[in-house]
């Protein structure tokens, strides 16, 4: 139905939805006007979705360098709660990619204060069962953004 109607959705909230990464990315491709994405307790959604949101689609061969596009180019607000397969590192990489200029493109000795955030987010993590690297990434999110 989405393929046919292409609804002008501005917000999408999924709560305890049993949707897999590939299907969610397909839905997001059909809703380019989306500005708010809320994922609450979606057990099968992982960093794969965040990577798709962070990636810039390369321009067509011979096309202009800036012709690349992002999935959900108008995304301004992402909220993730109770998503066991989404990591702090994945969220940090998404937020870093959506800064202008992207933090990942900055030289290592550059000051991140000049970067302007184009997306805001709310995240709730459970400390239970978290790996040490995930806890470390969480700390960096709190400090860096």
H or E element: which one contains 99? strand 99-100
Give the pLDDT score at 105: 52
Tell which residue, 99, 86, 109, has the closest CA to residue 38: 86
Give the pLDDT score at 96: 84
Q: What is the DSSP letter of 66?
A: G
Give the pLDDT score at 114: 54
Give the pLDDT score at 54: 92
Give residue 111's Cα distance to chain centre: 23
Give the pLDDT score at 38: 93
Give the tokens for residue 121.
């987010």
Q: Is 133 helix (H, G, I), strand (E, B) or coil?
A: helix
User: What are the backbone dihedrals phi and psi of residue 111, each rounded to the nearest 5 degrees, phi first?
Assistant: -90, 125
Kindly give the parts of the chain with pLDDT less than 50: 67, 106-111, 135-145
């Amino acid at each position: 139905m989405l393929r046919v109607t292409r609804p002008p959705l501005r917000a999408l909230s999924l709560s305890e939805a049993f949707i897999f990464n590939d299907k969610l990315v397909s839905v997001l491709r059909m809703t380019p006007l989306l500005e708010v994405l809320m994922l609450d307790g979606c057990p099968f959604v992982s960093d794969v979705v965040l990577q798709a949101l962070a990636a810039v689609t390369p321009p067509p061969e011979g096309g202009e360098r800036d012709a690349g596009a992002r999935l959900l180019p108008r995304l301004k607000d992402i909220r993730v709660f109770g998503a066991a397969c989404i990591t702090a590192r994945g969220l940090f990489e998404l937020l870093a990619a959506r800064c202008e200029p992207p933090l990942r493109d900055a030289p290592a000795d550059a000051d991140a204060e000049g970067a302007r955030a184009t997306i805001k987010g709310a995240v709730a993590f459970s400390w239970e069962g978290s790996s040490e690297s995930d806890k470390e990434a969480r700390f960096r999110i709190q400090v860096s953004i």
